[in-house]
Amino acid sequence: MAQERVKSDAKGVLVGAVIGPVISVTGLLGTSYFLGQDTGGVVEQAQEAAAPSPDHAPAAAPEPEPQPEPQPEPEAEPQPEPEPERVIWPTITPDAPVAQPAMPHVSASAPMPEPEDLPVVVAYATPFSAPQSVPLFSILLYDDPEFPLTDSTLQSLTVPVSIVIDPTRMDAEAQLARYRAEGIEAVIEARFADLAACEAALDRLPQTVGLLDSADGTLRGDISLQGQVLARMGETGHGLIAGAFGLGGLEQAAARDGVPAARLYRVLDDEGQSAPVMLRLLDRAAFEAQQTGSSIVLGRSYPETLAALLSWGAGQAAVNASYAVAPVSAILQQTLMR
């Protein structure tokens, strides 16, 4: 009996030794978790956690890593609008020549056009260039033998003029050659009694750009001669400047025959006007060009007329680009493109 009691006491001690820590751990974990759970794994984990490490002190809890700041969501990229049609301009490099759009392309093997291959209104015209939309104003200057135009006077003019030559003058060819040498174009005054006189004048003065109907209206007053002369001009390529009178029948007849034609706006010095009066007439004619697209005036080589032209031309530097003073061939050439 004594031995059985000793064994019983020993079991009690052993059970107590085991149950005591378990109860302590149960208190830590909570009775509600321990009851009905597998105690083996929990007890072992609790004992290991409760046992202090002999070599190291409990490690301090690591500081929490800094969380990256929230990045704003990227805005939705706008959808690209459809690209407009592009104009592709030619690239100009140091080795590439700059194109000249106003000049036709001429290959190395293609010869330049001869004057005989062009209408005379183009072949013998004073060189001139201006945008097509700019109104043109032209000045015709009649070469009066009583008031000859000297070289110094021609060189002092600051605006282009077109010279009118009387084909009956004895020195008409020499005067035309002089003007051509100065780069000035010329027009024949149409003083013809018949077609033979017209053909003689054209043969005598071939390097001219057009015909100006005479002050007495030679072409306008003779319908038969008018038709014959216009037919001949259609062959040579001359242009026509009709007088500042009538209802436009001469210009209409020229258009039917394919002859480039324009109308004279007015004569500057037909009534002995003074230079100040002619200055106002020039301004009025320039305004007419802006309103209608073109305008032509005629003056003679009188001293007063030349003084007015010199004064008016000097003031053109301050005029805006609302019109251009051009040789009369430029206005006649415009009618070729209509």
pLDDT for the residue 117: 72
Q: Based on the domain organization, do 125 and 30 belong to the same domain?
A: no
In a domain, 183, yes or no: yes
In a domain, 110, yes or no: no
Domain membership of residue 293 as a residue range? 119-336
CATH (domain of 331): 3.20.20.370
Q: Based on the domain organization, do 15 and 130 belong to the same domain?
A: no
Beta bridge partners of 142: 164, 300
* Token pair for 335: 């009618």
Q: Based on the domain organization, do 7 and 144 belong to the same domain?
A: no
In a domain, 21, yes or no: yes
In a domain, 154, yes or no: yes
In a domain, 52, yes or no: no
In a domain, 103, yes or no: no
Residues contacting residue 169 through CB under 8 Å, at least 6 positions apart: 145, 175
Residue segments in the chain with a per-residue pLDDT below the cut of 70: 1-116, 246-247, 317-321, 337-338
In a domain, 53, yes or no: no
pLDDT for the residue 307: 95
pLDDT in tens, 207-254: 999 999 987 777 887 888 899 999 999 999 999 999 877 667 888 889
In a domain, 283, yes or no: yes
Report how many domains make up the chain: 2
pLDDT in tens, 12-21: 444 344 444 4
Burial class (CB in 10 A: 0-12, 13-18, 19+), 15: exposed
pLDDT for the residue 46: 40
